[in-house]
Amino acid sequence: MSETSLPFNDRVFPGKALKEEWEKSIKKPQEFWAEKAKAIDWFRTWDKVLDDSNPPFYKWFKGGVLNISYNALDRHLETPRKNALAYIWEGENGEVRTFTYYQLYREVNKLAKVFKNVGLKKGDRVAVYLPMIPELPITLLATARLGGVHMVVFSGFSAEALADRINDCEAKILVTSDGAYRRGKIVTLKDTADRALAATPTVEKVVVVKRTGQTVPMKEGRDVYYHDALAKVEANAFVPPEPMEATEPLFILYTSGTTGKPKGVQHGVGGYLVWGYWTLKWGFNPNDKDIWWCTADVGWITGHTYNVYAPLAMGITSLIFEGTPDYPAQDRWWEIIERHGVTILYTTPTAIRMFRKFGEEWINKHDISSLRLLGTVGEPINPEAWKWYYRVIGKEKLAIIDTWWQTETGGFMIAPLPGIELVPLKPGSATNPLPSIQAEVYDEKGQPTPTGTKGFLVIKTPWPGMMETLWKDPERYKQTYFGRWPNIYYTGDYAVKDPDGYFWLLGRADEVLKVAGHRIGTVELESALVSHPSVSEAAVMGKEDPVKGEVPVAFVTLRNGFSPSEELRADLIKHIRNTIGPIATPDAIIIVNKLPKTRSGKIMRRLLKAVLVGAALGDVSTLEDEASVEDIKATYEELKRQLEKK
Ligand code: WTA
């Protein structure tokens, strides 16, 4: 964890700019944000920058009125950016489509007109279940133009997951596609959507984008093809951008937590946009010559903020890619970077570790010298992966912007900020909090931990990008995030601060897994497993994985009348894929006779984890209050034997 001497750091001159900006933001948050918010076009200026009269329900830019699609599109039409590219999209099959800001504006207006014609009104929810195609950001922008609230479900989720989310937010419209390409094969998205739609009474209209072209069932009166619908409105349709209060909802995005039901994180229009804009500017400082490539799918928060709203509000050019990194070959990304001249690459530790496994020869085949800055997000980046990224992709010249943040925070929270001033980098540390972010590491009692001691990462004061609430569940919002220490935002992450004050993120402190950067609740997996007729009890935990960071492993016990078999294991995996989606597929399902329990009947996860990783049982005394020492030892040995048999 000590300071490393990267050749790069020799060229960094830590001055005072970052510290000064941070202090200004803390001492005078109202003035600070009033100034920053001028980067956005407002129809009406706010009355109050921050209304904190009812914590933890903070209202940023209260009284301010704006429209986010206006900020992403219309305002560039009066500038030379009008004819600059907003998006370069590359399909999995190599097809390329580009959109200037003007072309995107026209497309968004047409779709907004379609939505308007079917009766979409301000506040109505639009569910989106699409692959990474241009129609995905277009749908978000068209919804936002009318003041609708979008709710995107990543296309790797199942019909059941889609239906649950649609029902929770009572969406009126669903936008999906006939299919999606995955490694040259067609995934029949519309079939999955139809299965979900069988249980979603609120959906009145389904707009289907033609992507893969096979014939799909279209329900009369409900389903329309995107292209047919757009062809029916005027080519130069104009839908006035709906004036939105800064604090009105822009979107809901469901994310996993510590209980079974995913949480509907709700973001508002104003604070979210201001935060998205400034975090991108501080973190990567893109300019109009850059080609920004954030590799996240728009199905996740990273795609919402850094593939749609922040880059469009800044007027820069983004690349979006439909496919996977290793199809048709393991140099697909480097080939894309070379061909399009990508200048900034923002991706995940999982992708980096995967490329490292593929080998450097795939990269060295290509001229990637257009790159000028690198970024990472989604999970802790291990120093080895960081160094590899720095050496092989960055050629020991490019800074790595490790950005720590969450669905709930709207944008980066802890990251190096070359847009203000680049601090010396340390492989594996996200460095320092952004302006306005008062981060701290707490112990169990809510006291700051001494330097070098692991604890819980908390944020002590509000910031513009923070979620507003959980959709229709303010009590859960309060409990989950501010329940542990009043008015202190609990992140659910472990962290440690080093003697230089740098933050090192150490993974989740709760029952949430990060599988290839995807957030998955162990409780969700457990509920899915016990909903199978054969399963009596289940305990799911993360197991370290050299590429994906961690993978889920499930311990299950069976009901009477069922016995372990390969078929049953395969069926359980299929069941999880159907109830949650392929992204939650467990790495292993371990069928055991009995799960270890505490005296009060709780499953002893620590013991299971020890068995799983082959660790010695260690200090049994700390488990003593949970069960007798003999019982623990005996269970441990028995489980180990069962595991070895497999
Ligand atoms: C983890 C993704 C370490 C963390 C933007 C957090 C990270 C969770 C980093 C949020 C990082 C994200 N270093 N850990 N740079 N970025 N995380 O909601 O555990 O999908 O709580 O948002 O990802 O995941 P989410």
As a whole number, mean pLDDT of residues 255-284 equals 94
Quick one: pLDDT band at residue 639, thresholds 50, 70, 90? confident
Quick one: pLDDT band at residue 11, thresholds 50, 70, 90? very low
pLDDT in tens, 206-245: 999 999 999 999 999 999 999 999 999 999 999 999 999 9
What is the distance between the terminal CA atoms of the chain, rounded to a whole angstrom? 38
Give me the pLDDT at residue 211, please: 98
Q: Higher confidence at residue 466 or residue 635?
A: 466
Whether the pLDDT of residue 624 is over 60: the answer is: no
pLDDT in tens, 441-489: 999 999 999 999 999 999 999 999 999 999 999 999 999 999 999 999 9
Q: Higher confidence at residue 619 or residue 481?
A: 481
Give me the pLDDT at residue 405, please: 98
Give me the pLDDT at residue 288, please: 93
CA 491 to centroid of ligand 1, rounded, Å: 10
Whether the pLDDT of residue 263 is over 90: the answer is: yes
Quick one: pLDDT band at residue 257, thresholds 50, 70, 90? confident
Burial of 422 (C-beta count, 10 Å sphere; 0-12/13-18/19+): buried
CA 377 to centroid of ligand 1, rounded, Å: 6
Give me the pLDDT at residue 454, please: 97
Cis peptide before 328 (omega within 30 of 0): yes
Q: Higher confidence at residue 198 or residue 605?
A: 198
Q: What is the DSSP letter of 203?
A: -
Q: Distances from the Cα of 182 to the Cαs of 186, 188, 191, 481, in angstroms?
A: 6, 10, 16, 37
Percent over 90 (pLDDT), the chain: 87
Tokens 């500038």 sit at which residue?
A: 79
Helix 566-579 to helix 522-530 angle (10° resolution) is 120
Ligand 1: which residue has its CA nearest to atom 14?
Answer: 379
Q: What is the DSSP letter of 321?
A: E
Whether the pLDDT of residue 10 is over 70: the answer is: no
Whether 480 lines ligand 1, by a CB cut-off of 6 Å, is: no
CA 478 to centroid of ligand 1, rounded, Å: 21
Q: For the beta carbon of residue 598, count every other beta carbon within 10 angstroms.
A: 14
As a whole number, mean pLDDT of residues 522-526 equals 94
* Token reading at 456: 């819980």
pLDDT in tens, 287-302: 999 999 999 999 999 9
CA distance 459 to 436: 10
Handedness of CA 196, 199, 203, 207 (dihedral sign): positive
275 contacts 434 by C-beta, under 8 angstroms: no
CA 625 to centroid of ligand 1, rounded, Å: 33
Give me the pLDDT at residue 2, please: 38
Pairing of strands 180-182, 65-66: unpaired
Whether the pLDDT of residue 410 is over 50: the answer is: yes
pLDDT in tens, 78-90: 999 999 999 999 9
As a whole number, mean pLDDT of residues 525-536 equals 96
Give me the pLDDT at residue 625, please: 56
Give me the pLDDT at residue 630, please: 67
pLDDT in tens, 319-361: 999 999 999 999 999 999 999 999 999 999 999 999 999 999 9
CA distance 152 to 304: 9
Q: Which of 505, 522, 583 to mutate to test the pocket of ligand 1 (most atoms within 8 A of CB)?
A: 505
Pairing of strands 439-442, 455-459: antiparallel
In three-state form (DSSP H/G/I as H, E/B as E, the rest C), the secondary structure along 425-483 is CCCCCCECECCCCCEEEECCCCCECCCCCCEEEEECCCCCCCCCEECCCHHHHHHHHHC
Q: Higher confidence at residue 609 or residue 61?
A: 61
Give me the pLDDT at residue 9, please: 55
Whether 503 lines ligand 1, by a CB cut-off of 6 Å, is: no
Give me the pLDDT at residue 5, please: 53
In three-state form (DSSP H/G/I as H, E/B as E, the rest C), the secondary structure along 9-25 is HHHCCCCCHHHHHHHHH
Burial string for 452-471 (b: 16+ CB within 10 Å, else e) reads eeebbbbbebbbbbbbbbbb
In 3D space, the residue among 424, 444, 420 whose CA is nearest the CA of residue 434 turns out to be 420
Cross-strand pairs, 253: 265
Ligand 1: which residue has its CA nearest to atom 22?
Answer: 406
- Give the nearest ligand 1 atom to 302 CA: 5
Name the strands in the sheet holding 149-152, side by side, starting at the edge strand that comes first in the sequence. 223-225, 205-209, 173-177, 125-129, 149-152, 249-255, 263-268, 469-470
Pairing of strands 173-177, 205-209: parallel
Give me the pLDDT at residue 597, please: 82
92 contacts 132 by C-beta, under 8 angstroms: no
In 3D space, the residue among 271, 269, 274, 314 whose CA is nearest the CA of residue 294 turns out to be 314
CA 407 to centroid of ligand 1, rounded, Å: 8
CA 347 to centroid of ligand 1, rounded, Å: 12
Q: For the beta carbon of residue 184, count every other beta carbon within 10 angstroms.
A: 10
Amino acid at 496: V
Name the strands in the sheet holding 455-459, side by side, starting at the edge strand that comes first in the sequence. 439-442, 455-459, 489-497, 503-508
408 contacts 493 by C-beta, under 8 angstroms: no
Phi, psi of 504, rounded to the nearest 5 degrees: -120, 120
Whether the pLDDT of residue 605 is over 90: the answer is: no
* Token reading at 626: 């949970």
CA distance 60 to 468: 9
- Give the nearest ligand 1 atom to 491 CA: 21
Give me the pLDDT at residue 17, please: 87
Whether the pLDDT of residue 610 is over 60: the answer is: yes
Kindly report the average pLDDT of the chain as a whole number: 93
Least confident interval from 38-47, 270-279, 568-577, 633-642:
633-642
CA distance 504 to 426: 10
Residues 6+ apart with CB under 8 A from 385: 349, 352, 353, 356
In 3D space, the residue among 368, 358, 290, 370 whose CA is nearest the CA of residue 330 turns out to be 358
Burial of 602 (C-beta count, 10 Å sphere; 0-12/13-18/19+): exposed
Least confident interval from 184-198, 357-371, 591-605:
591-605
Give me the pLDDT at residue 598, please: 78
Contacts of residues 536-545 at CB distance under 8 Å and 24 or more positions apart, as own/partner, are: 537/595, 537/603, 539/595, 539/603, 539/605, 539/608, 540/586, 541/605, 541/608, 541/609, 541/612, 542/513, 542/514, 542/515, 543/587, 543/588, 543/612, 543/613, 544/613, 545/587
Percent over 70 (pLDDT), the chain: 95
CA 507 to centroid of ligand 1, rounded, Å: 8
Give me the pLDDT at residue 1, please: 35
CA distance 567 to 167: 33
Whether 405 lines ligand 1, by a CB cut-off of 6 Å, is: yes
Whether 255 lines ligand 1, by a CB cut-off of 6 Å, is: yes
CA distance 94 to 456: 45
Whether 524 lines ligand 1, by a CB cut-off of 6 Å, is: no
pLDDT in tens, 496-510: 999 999 999 999 999
